[in-house]
Each structure stands twice: as C-alpha cells, then as structure tokens.
Amino acid sequence: MSAFKHRPFRKTGKDVDDLDPGARLRVIVLGGNEEVGRNCTLLEYGDDIVMIDCGLQFPDEDMPGVDYIIPNISYLKGKERNVRGVVITHAHYDHIGGIPHIIPRLGNPPLFASDLTCGIINKRQQDHQGTPPLKLHSVKSDDVIQLGVFSVEFFGVAHSVPSSLGVIVHTPCGIIVHTGDFKLDPQPGAQSIQETEKIKALGHKNVLALMIDSTNASQPGRQLQEIEIQHNIDDIIKNAKGRIIIGTFASMISRIQQIILACERNGRKIAVEGFSMKSNVAISQELGYMKIQKGTLIETKTAHDYPPDRVAIVCTGAQGEERAVLMRIANREHPFISIEPGDTVVFSSSVIPGNERTVQRVKDTLYREGAEVIHYKMMDVHAGGHAKQEDLAEMHDMVKPKYLIPIEGHYSFLCEHAKVAIAKGFPEERIFIADNGQMMEFDRTGDGVITNKKVPTEYVFVDGLGVGDVSHIVLRDRQELAGDGIVIIVAVIETQTGNLLALPDIISRGFIFMKEQQELIQNARRFAAKTLKDRDPNSAANPTYLKDKLKEDMGEFLYKKTERRPMILPVIVEV
C-alpha cells in the first residue's frame, strides 16, 4: 500500500471585488445536526460550493438490513460543477464513510485531507469495487488552497486519530471556522498536533462564525488527557498475570500506539486482529504516525507459542459488534484465540449510546469464560476525542466568533452547547441551532440569519450494493416480517374460468413451525380455497382482486387462530 505524500494544491480564485455585493453566503449542514454521524456541511456563495466532510451514520435498531446511512445530496443536483472541492477534517467513518457513494455522483471533485486521512480514504475506496479513483490531495496544516471564491486554511487539533484538522474558510462575507472533531489536550501524544497558538490567533481576525463539535456538550468539565490514559494502560499491562486482550476502535490509532508502547516496555508481543485495524496500523506505520519496534508484532496464530504473560491481542469489537473479533473470541468462534481463565480483557472505549445491551452481553460471556474484565467505568482506560463543556467554553474564548453554530450531535447536544456559551456570556441571539438542511445566510457586512428555508436531508440508506433504493416503506415491511413473519399462499387457477385447480399451498417463514402446526396449515389451505370459490363472480379471472381478497380474509383468519399478524403474500398462478 503506497502512502500519500504531501502534494500542495493551489488554484487561482476569483477577485472578490468582481463579486455581486448583494450575494449572500449560505451555510447548510446536510447531516450531523440531529444525530451522531453522517457529518456533512456545505458553504455556498454564488456559483461556488465547498463541502466539509462526507460521513456515514450507523443504523438504528429499527432499520433492519441497513448497512449505514449517508448524507442526502439532492440539493446539489444540477450544481455538481459548482462543487470546487471537498475538505475532510479527519479519518473517522462518520466523516469519510459517504465518500465512495457521493463523490462519484458529484463528478469526482478534488478532495483535500491530511496524508493519513488520504491513506485511509484511499484504502476504503479500493475496498468498494467499481468506484472510480479519487482526486485526493494531501495537505498540511500550513497550506492554503483556493477553491473558487473560498480560500481555505487549516489548524491541527487533538483527536483520537492523528493528523486531524480544523478548517478556516475565508469567504466574501467573513471567516468561517469549522473545528471538525476535537478536544483540548496540551499533550496529545500520538494524536494530531494541537496548534493552540494558531487557534488563539483567530481571536484577532474577526471570525464571522464558529462551527464547533458538540458531541460531548452535555458532559461537564474537561476531557481526560491522553497522558493519564497512558499511565493506566501501563499499569494494567504491567500487573496482568496472563494474556491481555484489548478491544478498541480500529480508527483509534493513538490508543493502539499507547498499547503498543506499554507492551514493549513490559516485554509483551502483540497480535493485531481485525481487517480494518490491521489496515490502519499498516498505513500509520508507513506514514510515520506509529512507531513499532522490530519483532513486537506477531501473527495471531503464533500467539500460543509464547507464555501468556508475554502476549497481548489488540482487536476490534469493543462495542459488541456481532462479527467483530472480540465477540468471536468470547463465543469461541475465532480460529486461533479463545478465552482462558486468567486472561484480562480491556474495553478501551466508551459505549456508544444504543450499544449498551450488546456490550453487556459480551462482558457476561467473558466473565463466564473466566476472564477478568476492565472497562472505562472501573478505571480510566478511555479518553474521548471530543471536548466537554469547559473545553468548549475555552475554544469559544480563543476564537471569539461573532456567531456560534453548534454542530455534530443530537439536537439536545446542540442546545446543551448553547447553554454553556450563554452561561459564559455569549449573546443568545447570535447562536444558531439549525436543523439538518436549514439554511443559514450571511451578507457582505457580516450580518447573519437562520432562515426557514430547508433543503432535503431525508435518510439515504446503503444496503448491500443498493444506495437509496431502500425506503422507509421497505423498512416498515422488514419490521413487520421481523414481528410476526410471512405466510405465502400459492394458488393455481384456470385462466378462463378462474376455477381453483387444487388446494392452495401454504408456506410459513417466521410465523409458525409448520411441522408442529399441520392442523392449522390444513385449515388455512381449506379456508383459502373457500375464499377463492366464494368470490365475486364478475371478478373470476382478475388476479389482483383474488390477491387482495386472499390477503384480507386470510389475515383475519390467522389472527383469530393465533392473535398474530403475519405478512400475507398471495401468489396466483394462471394455467
């Protein structure tokens, strides 16, 4: 895998003096203002558009079969040529996951990101067969790129993946600052360099608006520093008597580096498990973001060749994902690793809301297998990558924007963020809490307004190879199938007369176990035959009428017999 080398990109912009003085800057958040995920923001002035981030959102429990959700770009239909570039803040999937699906539909505009982010984007693109190569441009934090009327600069921020960037966009109406995901950490370790002085310098530049991460806005205090986590990881690895198995996110490259350093200091070999984690480690090593001594990494299948107190396994699955490595280890489904008494299992991540039950299930299984389990509620083994309330207030003070735009979080998170700002003296009327798609506008004098105009932001579901072909109606059908199953009725009729040639066949899936319910099946077959015979004679050979009648009458019959409402699917075969 070839690493991305730095390739500065500059493009001559338009002379601001030639622009329409009455034009307004539009700021539109397509995703990320009502959920955690699918982060995507548009800046539009005249015929020029810049997109910041293009992420995915993982599905909720009521979205069976959906792989993930991406931003809705309907607003850009017919404006594809106006997209001068896409700027990516960092390599997490909630900021890059929509790229393979969306960028080709926009005519493949140039993408700008740090070298590590480019590397991970490129690898994900290769994994999507049939997608065209991207026009990726690696940038550093001191680069300046011109995208139409927009001049774009960057500043380094601390986050849980290295080389994360905040974005400074010079527009004809003023400066827009977009933090991306960040926390304040004076010693971020293997994370991105936090360019505090560059951030403070923004406070003297009359920033028009600050678009700022709100993921942890509901949590008081300050985010833990990475150096505190390093001490705790060192202690765990030093004191563990047997093997150590550590689950974390594949994208938490800084955490993986901390684990590797601690293992090297304590003489442990490390096996890395999980396709995405192996890929990210390889890219990070190649670009110099991860330092690993020769001989530290071993193949998982050789882990049993070493004493238990000299081995550690770093793997995916800390959220209880069904097919992730940690779950397969816990369930004895992994080909090389299973839990043994004396193992220590560490969950080095907080639980994403909604995953509590699956994580608890994994923990219970690990305890049953005799493992010692350590998670973030027992001791600090995870420092989040997002600023808490005191950090947010400090960022406000450093940047000193005229307008504050909380982004990246559920609507309640944005409101909590606003409360923090108001408590610190920020004028409430200059805080814009926008829905997804709600248009904010700024004029050339620097005055802004949150409008009632909205662009489409309905969910676009990715399901297998399909993008946008699964609707809420399809999801409702899937939910019904998951509830009471499906009953298929196959009836063969004579085309001209409409006469039934044999008793209809009944097929059940997820409704009843047919071998144990033969009497019900036979009664249902006879009822279906009677329904078809007792039809309106004027509709004898109308298949649509017959299907509707079967669906209605059989649904009522089965409910009376079972008090369940399976989906009824009639099939009429004409001969």
Letter string b/e over residues 155-173, b meaning 16 or more CB atoms within 10 A of that residue's CB: bbbbbbbbbbbbbbbbbbb
User: CA 92 from chain center: how many Å?
Assistant: 8
Are the beta carbons of 306 and 231 closer than 8 angstroms?
no
User: Nearest-CA neighbor of 387 among 411, 419, 417?
Assistant: 417
Active site residue 213: yes
375, 386, 396, 417: which is the annotated catalytic residue? Answer: 386
User: Nearest-CA neighbor of 574 among 543, 537, 550?
Assistant: 543
Distance CA 83, CA 81 (A): 6
Token pair in block for residue 78: 């017919």
User: Nearest-CA neighbor of 506 among 528, 526, 488?
Assistant: 488
Letter string b/e over residues 394-430, b meaning 16 or more CB atoms within 10 A of that residue's CB: bbbebbebbbbbbbbbbbebbbbbbebbeeeebeeee
User: Nearest-CA neighbor of 345 among 377, 314, 371, 324?
Assistant: 371
94, 181, 185, 213: which is the annotated catalytic residue? Answer: 213
Which residue intervals of 132-249 are DSSP H helices? 196-202, 226-239
Q: What share of the chain is helix, strand, coil (3-state, %, to 5)?
A: 35, 25, 45
In sequence order, what are the residues at sequence separation of 6 or more whose Cβ sits closer than 8 angstroms to the Cβ of residue 538? none
Residue written as tokens 């992420």? 55
Would you say the C-alpha torsion 557, 559, 560, 561 has a positive or negative sign?
positive
Active site residues: 213, 386
